[in-house]
Every structure is written in C-alpha cells, then in structure tokens.
C-alpha cells in the first residue's frame, strides 16, 4: 500500500498508550502466499494437515514452549520482504522522528489451535529492552496478522501505558502479573490495560519496545498466524 502520513491523534495515542493499530495495512492478497507457505511447512514437518494435528512432537510442551519451537521450525519464504516494507518503516519514522533498523528481519509467531483454556494467569510477561520511561524510545516492535486472529486465539497481549511505569510501581505490577491475586485491581492501581492484538489479516500493531507484553494461549479452533519485526532507533543528536 502507499505510504500514509499519521495524523496527530494517532501520534498522541501511540505516545500515551505505547502502541498503535494500523488496520488492514497489508492486503489479504499480499498475505495469501505466506498463509499457504505456513500450511505447506506444517504439513512437511508433520505437525498439522487437513485440519488435524499430526504426531505428538509438540504435545508434551507447554503452550509457550510450543510457540517458540513451532516458530523456529517453520521457514516462510518471503516473510521479511512481504511484511517489513518501506511503508512500515515510514510509519515508524513518523511516530518517532528517527530512522528504524531491523537487523534480524521478521520472525513468525505461530501456535496451533486448542492449546488449552484461555487464561491471564501464568503468562510470560516481559520487555525486550530495559530502558527508562522518561528516555527516548529505544525501539519499536511490529506485530503483523498474517491471517484473522480472533479473541482468545493466541494473539500477543500487551499492557497499554506500561512503558510509563518506573520504580516501585513497575515492580509491584510485575509481581501481580506473576501471582494469582486480584489482577484487575493491580491494573487499575497502575493505570494499565491489557490489549489483545487480535483482528483481521493485514492489521499491524506497532508497539513501544518498553511495553510489557506476552504470548497467550490459543484456545480457538484455528492456527494463529502472526509475525514480528523488532526495529531499533538511532539516538537523537
């Protein structure tokens, strides 16, 4: 698609919330070869075909171990060239005023259906780069929906506004996310909100890399097909 200038409302939202959704940024026709490539790979690896699991190579792993192993096993031709476009980099430059770089390219984020009951407990909340909330944004992570991803369908979760937390408040929130206490109360106290990166094929989420995020359980009946690119940003002079 042609590059689109972000408006002031989108810029303000991103810097306040720590993420921005770009609806239908990539066309479904553009993504169709990637979906077909994923299904061919899953069949070749004897993991999934004809709507069914094949073998038990992933069955003994936790849902998050399954995601990691599956995403490393599947090789998708043209993934980075299709998703990591000049238009994506232009949007990131528009958000940050700095040139983005993606030295590692794009990686798949895949999970099989019916991993188990969907829950907010025992998730792997983390940040990829530890950086001060008051400092410059060190990077942006893009999450691409290669296929439709429904609610509770394994989409990445992010904590809106968590990039603004520091010190004791940030530590308490991280502790609450790991415990089985009143998570809703912890989110209210820290003024954060869980965002599920579900949506339609072609949607892209751009996230401040300081935002807490986690994989989630795919309790739906379809494969979660997403991918991600981490962009670093040159410091301002």
Q: How many domains does the chain have?
A: 1
Residues 153 and 116 sit within 8 Å (Cβ to Cβ): no
25-69: pLDDT as tens digits: 999 999 999 999 999 999 999 999 988 887 777 878 888 888 899
Contact yes or no for 199/21 (Cβ under 8 A) = yes
Distance CA 152, CA 55 (A): 25
When mean pLDDT is compared over 15-24, 44-53, 170-179, the highest value belongs to 15-24
Q: Where are the beta strands (DSSP E) in 82-184?
A: 100-101, 106-111, 139-145, 157-160
Query: What is d(CA 67, CA 56) in angstroms, rounded to the nearest whole number?
Result: 15
Q: What is the pTM of this model?
A: 0.93
Residue 2 lies in a domain: no
With residue 81 as reference, give the H or E element that holds it: helix 79-83
Q: What is the DSSP letter of 162?
A: G
66: in domain: yes
pLDDT at 5 over 90: no
pLDDT digits (tens, 9 = 90+) for 142-162: 999 999 999 999 999 999 999
Q: What is the pLDDT of residue 20?
A: 98
pLDDT greater than 80 at residue 181:
no
The residue segments making up the domain with residue 213 are 8-233
| pLDDT band for position 93 (cuts 50, 70, 90) | very high
Other C-beta atoms within 10 Å of 75: how many?
12
Q: Which residue in 203, 23, 158, 20 sits closest to 94, CA to CA?
A: 20
Residue 175 lies in a domain: yes
Q: What confidence score (pLDDT) does residue 140 get?
A: 96
CATH of the domain at 120: 2.60.120.620
- Domain membership of residue 101 (yes or no) is yes
How far apart CA 119 and CA 65 sit, in angstroms, is 16
Q: What pLDDT, on a 0 to 100 scale, did the predictor assign at position 172? A: 76
Contact between 39 and 31 (Cβ < 8 Å): no
Please report whether residue 1 resides in a domain: no
Q: Beta strand pairing status for 224-233 and 100-101?
A: antiparallel
CA angle 65, 161, 124 (to 5 degrees): 15
Encoding tokens for residue 43?
A: 């069949």
Q: Is 100 among the domain residues?
A: yes
User: What proportions of the chain, in percent to the nearest 5, are helix, strand and coil?
Assistant: 30, 20, 45
How many Å apart are CA 144 and CA 12, to the nearest integer? 22
**Does any domain span residue 20?**
yes
């Amino acid at each position: 698609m042609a590059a689109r200038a972000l408006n002031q409302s989108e810029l303000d939202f991103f810097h306040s919330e720590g993420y921005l959704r770009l609806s239908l940024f990539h066309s479904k026709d553009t993504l169709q070869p990637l979906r077909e490539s994923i299904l061919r790979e899953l069949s070749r690896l004897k993991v999934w075909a004809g709507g069914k699991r094949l073998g038990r190579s992933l069955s003994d792993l936790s849902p998050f171990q399954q995601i990691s192993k599956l995403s490393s096993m599947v090789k998708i031709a043209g993934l980075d060239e299709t998703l990591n476009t000049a238009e994506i980099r232009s949007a990131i430059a528009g958000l940050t005023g700095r040139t983005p770089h993606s030295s590692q390219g794009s990686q798949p984020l895949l999970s099989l259906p019916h991993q188990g009951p969907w829950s907010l407990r025992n998730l792997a909340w983390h940040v990829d780069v530890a950086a001060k909330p008051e400092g410059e944004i060190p990077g942006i992570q893009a999450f691409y929906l290669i296929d439709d991803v429904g609610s509770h369908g394994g989409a990445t979760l992010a904590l809106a506004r968590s990039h603004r937390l520091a010190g004791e408040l940030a530590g308490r929130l991280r502790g609450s996310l790991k415990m089985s206490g009143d998570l809703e109360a912890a989110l209210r106290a820290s003024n954060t909100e869980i965002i599920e990166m579900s949506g339609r094929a072609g949607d892209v989420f751009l996230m401040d890399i300081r935002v807490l995020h986690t994989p989630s359980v795919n309790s739906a009946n379809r494969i979660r097909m997403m991918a991600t690119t981490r962009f670093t940003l040159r410091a301002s002079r």
